Amino acid sequence: MELVSNLYPVIPADRLDLELTYSKPKLSKTDVETIIQIWIDKKAQDWSSDISVSYMCSNLHLVLLPLWILSGDASASWSASIGQDYYELKSCYKCSGKGLVKQSENNPFGNSDIIERCHVCGGSGKEQVKKTRFVSQTGYVNAELNGRVVENLPSDVTPPRLKKRDLNAVEEKLDKPLAAQFYSLQPASVLSSDGRKKSEDILRETLTQNANDIARDMGPVRNLQIVNIQIQNLSARLWGYPLLVGSFTYKDEEQLAIEIDALTGEIYVDVPKSVKSSRLRTLLYKIVLLLIVVLVPIIVFYTIVKYY
Ligand SMILES: [Zn+2]
Protein backbone atom coordinates (compact mmCIF):
# COMPACT_ATOMS: atom_id res chain seq x y z
CA MET A 1 0.00 0.00 0.00
CA GLU A 2 1.30 3.41 -0.89
CA LEU A 3 0.40 6.53 0.99
CA VAL A 4 -0.46 10.07 -0.01
CA SER A 5 -0.13 10.70 3.71
CA ASN A 6 -1.00 8.66 6.77
CA LEU A 7 -4.40 10.28 6.63
CA TYR A 8 -5.28 8.94 3.20
CA PRO A 9 -4.12 5.40 2.38
CA VAL A 10 -4.24 4.86 -1.38
CA ILE A 11 -3.62 2.19 -3.98
CA PRO A 12 -2.97 2.57 -7.73
CA ALA A 13 -6.38 2.62 -9.40
CA ASP A 14 -5.41 -0.09 -11.90
CA ARG A 15 -5.32 -2.56 -9.01
CA LEU A 16 -9.08 -2.26 -8.69
CA ASP A 17 -10.17 -5.36 -10.52
CA LEU A 18 -13.67 -4.16 -11.18
CA GLU A 19 -15.77 -2.39 -13.72
CA LEU A 20 -14.69 1.14 -12.94
CA THR A 21 -15.76 4.59 -14.01
CA TYR A 22 -14.47 7.96 -12.92
CA SER A 23 -15.36 11.62 -13.29
CA LYS A 24 -12.84 14.11 -14.58
CA PRO A 25 -11.93 16.85 -12.10
CA LYS A 26 -13.43 20.19 -13.07
CA LEU A 27 -11.09 22.48 -11.12
CA SER A 28 -8.00 24.08 -12.60
CA LYS A 29 -4.89 24.84 -10.51
CA THR A 30 -5.98 28.49 -10.32
CA ASP A 31 -9.46 27.43 -9.13
CA VAL A 32 -7.87 25.38 -6.34
CA GLU A 33 -5.61 28.26 -5.27
CA THR A 34 -8.58 30.65 -5.22
CA ILE A 35 -10.66 28.20 -3.14
CA ILE A 36 -7.86 27.86 -0.55
CA GLN A 37 -7.27 31.64 -0.47
CA ILE A 38 -10.99 32.29 0.12
CA TRP A 39 -10.98 29.71 2.92
CA ILE A 40 -7.98 31.39 4.60
CA ASP A 41 -9.52 34.88 4.25
CA LYS A 42 -12.82 33.74 5.69
CA LYS A 43 -11.85 31.21 8.34
CA ALA A 44 -8.40 32.15 9.54
CA GLN A 45 -7.56 35.84 9.63
CA ASP A 46 -4.42 35.16 11.66
CA TRP A 47 -3.08 32.57 9.22
CA SER A 48 0.70 32.39 9.29
CA SER A 49 2.19 33.82 6.11
CA ASP A 50 4.75 30.97 6.22
CA ILE A 51 1.97 28.64 5.15
CA SER A 52 1.32 29.86 1.65
CA VAL A 53 -1.50 28.90 -0.65
CA SER A 54 0.97 27.40 -3.11
CA TYR A 55 2.54 25.29 -0.32
CA MET A 56 -0.89 23.94 0.59
CA CYS A 57 -1.63 23.31 -3.11
CA SER A 58 1.63 21.44 -3.61
CA ASN A 59 0.56 18.99 -0.89
CA LEU A 60 -2.69 18.15 -2.61
CA HIS A 61 -3.08 14.95 -4.61
CA LEU A 62 -5.85 13.91 -6.92
CA VAL A 63 -7.32 10.64 -5.63
CA LEU A 64 -10.43 8.75 -6.56
CA LEU A 65 -12.87 8.08 -3.77
CA PRO A 66 -14.29 4.59 -4.38
CA LEU A 67 -18.06 4.74 -4.34
CA TRP A 68 -20.34 1.76 -4.88
CA ILE A 69 -23.23 2.30 -7.24
CA LEU A 70 -25.76 -0.26 -6.15
CA SER A 71 -28.88 -1.47 -7.91
CA GLY A 72 -31.43 -4.23 -7.53
CA ASP A 73 -35.01 -4.87 -6.62
CA ALA A 74 -36.80 -7.04 -4.13
CA SER A 75 -40.24 -8.13 -3.10
CA ALA A 76 -41.64 -10.07 -0.18
CA SER A 77 -44.72 -10.91 1.80
CA TRP A 78 -45.17 -9.69 5.30
CA SER A 79 -47.31 -10.75 8.20
CA ALA A 80 -47.91 -9.07 11.51
CA SER A 81 -50.40 -8.70 14.29
CA ILE A 82 -52.13 -5.34 13.98
CA GLY A 83 -53.96 -3.79 16.85
CA GLN A 84 -57.59 -2.77 16.27
CA ASP A 85 -59.58 -0.66 18.67
CA TYR A 86 -63.04 -1.71 19.72
CA TYR A 87 -65.43 -0.67 22.47
CA GLU A 88 -66.98 -2.82 25.11
CA LEU A 89 -70.06 -1.87 27.09
CA LYS A 90 -69.55 -2.13 30.80
CA SER A 91 -71.64 -1.32 33.81
CA CYS A 92 -71.04 2.36 34.73
CA TYR A 93 -68.51 2.73 37.54
CA LYS A 94 -70.23 5.80 38.96
CA CYS A 95 -73.77 4.51 39.36
CA SER A 96 -72.99 0.75 39.26
CA GLY A 97 -75.37 0.42 36.31
CA LYS A 98 -78.38 2.03 37.99
CA GLY A 99 -78.26 5.23 35.94
CA LEU A 100 -79.04 7.29 39.05
CA VAL A 101 -76.86 8.64 41.82
CA LYS A 102 -77.70 9.78 45.27
CA GLN A 103 -76.19 13.06 46.39
CA SER A 104 -76.17 14.56 49.86
CA GLU A 105 -76.77 18.28 50.11
CA ASN A 106 -76.27 20.59 53.06
CA ASN A 107 -78.98 23.18 53.53
CA PRO A 108 -80.16 25.31 56.49
CA PHE A 109 -82.74 22.65 57.39
CA GLY A 110 -80.21 19.85 57.68
CA ASN A 111 -78.95 17.25 55.21
CA SER A 112 -81.10 15.94 52.45
CA ASP A 113 -80.51 13.38 49.75
CA ILE A 114 -81.24 14.16 46.17
CA ILE A 115 -81.50 11.47 43.50
CA GLU A 116 -79.96 12.64 40.23
CA ARG A 117 -79.29 11.23 36.80
CA CYS A 118 -75.69 9.89 36.58
CA HIS A 119 -73.59 12.38 34.60
CA VAL A 120 -70.99 9.76 33.61
CA CYS A 121 -73.32 7.45 31.65
CA GLY A 122 -76.09 9.99 31.06
CA GLY A 123 -78.51 7.71 32.89
CA SER A 124 -77.98 4.65 30.69
CA GLY A 125 -76.07 2.75 33.39
CA LYS A 126 -73.51 1.65 30.77
CA GLU A 127 -70.16 3.04 29.77
CA GLN A 128 -67.97 2.37 26.73
CA VAL A 129 -64.47 1.04 27.39
CA LYS A 130 -61.86 1.21 24.63
CA LYS A 131 -59.97 -2.07 24.06
CA THR A 132 -57.44 -3.30 21.53
CA ARG A 133 -57.38 -6.73 19.93
CA PHE A 134 -54.53 -7.95 17.74
CA VAL A 135 -55.56 -9.40 14.42
CA SER A 136 -53.19 -11.07 12.01
CA GLN A 137 -52.66 -9.22 8.74
CA THR A 138 -50.61 -10.01 5.66
CA GLY A 139 -49.46 -7.96 2.70
CA TYR A 140 -47.01 -7.53 -0.10
CA VAL A 141 -44.01 -5.22 -0.15
CA ASN A 142 -41.43 -3.97 -2.69
CA ALA A 143 -38.04 -2.32 -2.50
CA GLU A 144 -35.88 -0.87 -5.21
CA LEU A 145 -32.29 0.35 -5.39
CA ASN A 146 -31.74 2.49 -8.40
CA GLY A 147 -28.07 3.41 -8.45
CA ARG A 148 -27.71 4.12 -4.72
CA VAL A 149 -24.29 5.66 -4.02
CA VAL A 150 -22.46 4.26 -0.97
CA GLU A 151 -18.85 4.76 0.14
CA ASN A 152 -16.60 1.74 -0.23
CA LEU A 153 -14.09 2.46 2.51
CA PRO A 154 -12.74 0.33 5.38
CA SER A 155 -14.36 1.09 8.72
CA ASP A 156 -11.01 1.82 10.40
CA VAL A 157 -10.14 4.62 7.97
CA THR A 158 -11.44 8.15 8.58
CA PRO A 159 -13.72 8.82 5.62
CA PRO A 160 -13.36 12.13 3.78
CA ARG A 161 -14.93 14.97 5.72
CA LEU A 162 -16.56 16.28 2.54
CA LYS A 163 -19.92 14.62 2.28
CA LYS A 164 -21.82 16.50 -0.43
CA ARG A 165 -21.12 15.00 -3.83
CA ASP A 166 -22.09 15.94 -7.32
CA LEU A 167 -24.11 12.79 -7.97
CA ASN A 168 -25.03 13.91 -11.48
CA ALA A 169 -21.42 14.20 -12.62
CA VAL A 170 -20.55 12.69 -15.99
CA GLU A 171 -18.89 9.28 -15.66
CA GLU A 172 -16.29 7.90 -18.01
CA LYS A 173 -14.94 4.40 -18.31
CA LEU A 174 -11.59 3.97 -16.58
CA ASP A 175 -9.75 1.21 -18.42
CA LYS A 176 -6.48 -0.29 -17.13
CA PRO A 177 -3.95 1.93 -18.98
CA LEU A 178 -5.82 5.09 -17.93
CA ALA A 179 -6.38 3.78 -14.38
CA ALA A 180 -2.60 3.37 -14.00
CA GLN A 181 -2.40 7.18 -13.92
CA PHE A 182 -4.67 7.48 -10.89
CA TYR A 183 -4.63 6.62 -7.23
CA SER A 184 -7.70 5.47 -5.41
CA LEU A 185 -8.36 5.68 -1.70
CA GLN A 186 -7.92 2.15 -0.37
CA PRO A 187 -11.37 0.58 -0.77
CA ALA A 188 -12.92 -1.83 1.73
CA SER A 189 -13.47 -4.31 -1.04
CA VAL A 190 -12.61 -4.79 -4.69
CA LEU A 191 -14.96 -7.73 -5.23
CA SER A 192 -18.17 -6.93 -7.03
CA SER A 193 -19.74 -9.84 -5.10
CA ASP A 194 -19.21 -7.76 -1.92
CA GLY A 195 -20.97 -4.85 -3.59
CA ARG A 196 -23.90 -7.06 -4.59
CA LYS A 197 -24.04 -8.35 -1.01
CA LYS A 198 -24.26 -4.72 0.11
CA SER A 199 -27.13 -4.10 -2.34
CA GLU A 200 -28.87 -7.17 -0.95
CA ASP A 201 -28.43 -6.04 2.67
CA ILE A 202 -29.85 -2.59 1.88
CA LEU A 203 -32.79 -4.14 -0.02
CA ARG A 204 -33.62 -6.49 2.90
CA GLU A 205 -33.49 -3.57 5.31
CA THR A 206 -35.69 -1.46 3.02
CA LEU A 207 -38.24 -4.29 2.71
CA THR A 208 -38.56 -4.43 6.50
CA GLN A 209 -38.83 -0.64 6.77
CA ASN A 210 -41.45 -0.45 4.01
CA ALA A 211 -43.48 -3.31 5.51
CA ASN A 212 -43.31 -1.59 8.89
CA ASP A 213 -44.55 1.67 7.34
CA ILE A 214 -47.50 -0.10 5.67
CA ALA A 215 -48.38 -2.04 8.83
CA ARG A 216 -48.04 0.98 11.10
CA ASP A 217 -50.59 2.85 8.97
CA MET A 218 -53.09 0.13 9.98
CA GLY A 219 -52.46 0.34 13.72
CA PRO A 220 -50.07 -0.81 16.45
CA VAL A 221 -47.72 -3.52 15.10
CA ARG A 222 -46.53 -6.71 16.78
CA ASN A 223 -44.39 -9.58 15.44
CA LEU A 224 -43.70 -8.24 11.97
CA GLN A 225 -42.24 -10.93 9.75
CA ILE A 226 -40.95 -10.80 6.20
CA VAL A 227 -41.17 -14.01 4.20
CA ASN A 228 -40.73 -15.24 0.62
CA ILE A 229 -38.08 -12.66 -0.16
CA GLN A 230 -37.32 -12.43 -3.87
CA ILE A 231 -34.24 -10.45 -4.87
CA GLN A 232 -33.43 -9.73 -8.51
CA ASN A 233 -31.17 -7.71 -10.78
CA LEU A 234 -28.44 -7.13 -8.19
CA SER A 235 -25.56 -5.09 -9.49
CA ALA A 236 -22.63 -3.23 -8.02
CA ARG A 237 -19.95 -1.23 -9.74
CA LEU A 238 -17.32 1.23 -8.64
CA TRP A 239 -17.26 4.94 -9.38
CA GLY A 240 -14.05 6.85 -8.74
CA TYR A 241 -15.12 10.25 -7.44
CA PRO A 242 -12.33 12.84 -7.78
CA LEU A 243 -11.10 14.46 -4.59
CA LEU A 244 -8.01 16.53 -3.91
CA VAL A 245 -6.61 15.43 -0.57
CA GLY A 246 -3.43 15.96 1.36
CA SER A 247 -1.90 16.97 4.63
CA PHE A 248 0.22 19.93 5.64
CA THR A 249 2.10 21.11 8.69
CA TYR A 250 1.34 24.37 10.42
CA LYS A 251 4.05 25.65 12.77
CA ASP A 252 4.52 22.67 15.16
CA GLU A 253 1.32 20.91 14.24
CA GLU A 254 1.63 18.06 11.83
CA GLN A 255 -0.73 16.15 9.60
CA LEU A 256 -3.53 18.64 9.22
CA ALA A 257 -5.95 17.44 6.58
CA ILE A 258 -7.09 19.36 3.54
CA GLU A 259 -9.74 18.11 1.15
CA ILE A 260 -11.31 19.69 -1.90
CA ASP A 261 -14.12 18.18 -3.95
CA ALA A 262 -12.65 18.32 -7.47
CA LEU A 263 -16.13 18.66 -8.98
CA THR A 264 -17.99 21.05 -6.67
CA GLY A 265 -15.04 22.95 -5.17
CA GLU A 266 -16.25 22.34 -1.60
CA ILE A 267 -13.31 22.57 0.81
CA TYR A 268 -12.46 21.11 4.22
CA VAL A 269 -9.35 22.08 6.16
CA ASP A 270 -8.34 21.05 9.70
CA VAL A 271 -8.03 24.38 11.53
CA PRO A 272 -4.66 24.45 13.37
CA LYS A 273 -4.95 24.67 17.17
CA SER A 274 -3.01 27.92 17.35
CA VAL A 275 -5.34 29.52 14.79
CA LYS A 276 -8.36 28.29 16.74
CA SER A 277 -7.08 29.76 20.03
CA SER A 278 -6.14 33.03 18.36
CA ARG A 279 -9.66 33.23 16.88
CA LEU A 280 -11.04 32.66 20.37
CA ARG A 281 -8.80 35.40 21.78
CA THR A 282 -9.98 37.82 19.10
CA LEU A 283 -13.59 36.99 19.91
CA LEU A 284 -13.07 37.52 23.67
CA TYR A 285 -11.29 40.79 22.96
CA LYS A 286 -14.27 41.97 20.88
CA ILE A 287 -16.71 41.03 23.65
CA VAL A 288 -14.69 42.92 26.28
CA LEU A 289 -14.44 45.94 23.98
CA LEU A 290 -18.19 45.87 23.39
CA LEU A 291 -18.87 45.69 27.13
CA ILE A 292 -16.63 48.70 27.74
CA VAL A 293 -18.29 50.68 24.96
CA VAL A 294 -21.77 49.86 26.28
CA LEU A 295 -21.19 49.79 30.05
CA VAL A 296 -18.97 52.81 30.59
CA PRO A 297 -21.50 55.39 29.28
CA ILE A 298 -24.24 53.69 31.35
CA ILE A 299 -22.15 53.86 34.54
CA VAL A 300 -21.19 57.47 33.81
CA PHE A 301 -24.83 58.36 33.12
CA TYR A 302 -26.10 56.83 36.38
CA THR A 303 -23.30 58.42 38.38
CA ILE A 304 -24.26 61.84 37.03
CA VAL A 305 -27.98 61.24 37.64
CA LYS A 306 -27.23 60.19 41.26
CA TYR A 307 -25.35 63.44 42.05
CA TYR A 308 -28.03 65.77 40.71
ZN1 LIG B 1 -73.68 5.92 35.41
pLDDT of the residue at 216: 94
Rounded to the nearest angstrom, the distance between the alpha carbon of 132 and the centre of ligand 1 is: 23
Per-residue pLDDT of the chain (308 residues; tens, 9 = 90+): 345 667 788 888 888 877 789 999 999 999 999 999 999 888 776 777 778 888 888 889 999 999 999 999 999 999 999 999 999 999 999 999 898 988 887 777 777 788 889 998 888 989 888 999 999 999 999 999 999 999 999 888 888 899 899 999 999 998 888 888 899 998 998 888 999 999 999 999 999 999 999 999 999 999 999 999 999 999 999 999 999 998 888 887 778 889 999 999 999 998 888 887 777 888 888 888 888 888 888 888 888 887 77
Rounded to the nearest angstrom, the distance between the alpha carbon of 96 and the centre of ligand 1 is: 6
Rounded to the nearest angstrom, the distance between the alpha carbon of 214 and the centre of ligand 1 is: 40
Residue 285: in which H helix or E strand, if any? helix 273-307
DSSP three-state, residue 262: coil
Rounded to the nearest angstrom, the distance between the alpha carbon of 107 and the centre of ligand 1 is: 26
Rounded to the nearest angstrom, the distance between the alpha carbon of 131 and the centre of ligand 1 is: 20
pLDDT of the residue at 1: 37
pLDDT of the residue at 4: 62
Rounded to the nearest angstrom, the distance between the alpha carbon of 119 and the centre of ligand 1 is: 7
Query: Amino acid identity, residue 297?
Result: P
pLDDT of the residue at 2: 45
pLDDT of the residue at 3: 52
Rounded to the nearest angstrom, the distance between the alpha carbon of 304 and the centre of ligand 1 is: 75
User: Which of 5, 7, 13 shows the shortest CA–CA distance to 190?
Assistant: 13
Q: What is the pTM of this model?
A: 0.72
User: Which of 16, 5, 3 shows the shortest CA–CA distance to 236?
Assistant: 16
**b/e burial code for range 10-32 (CB count within 10 A of at least 16 → b):** bbebbebebebbbbebebeeeeb
DSSP three-state, residue 145: strand
Rounded to the nearest angstrom, the distance between the alpha carbon of 121 and the centre of ligand 1 is: 4
* HSE-up (13 A, CA, CB side) for residue 197: 7
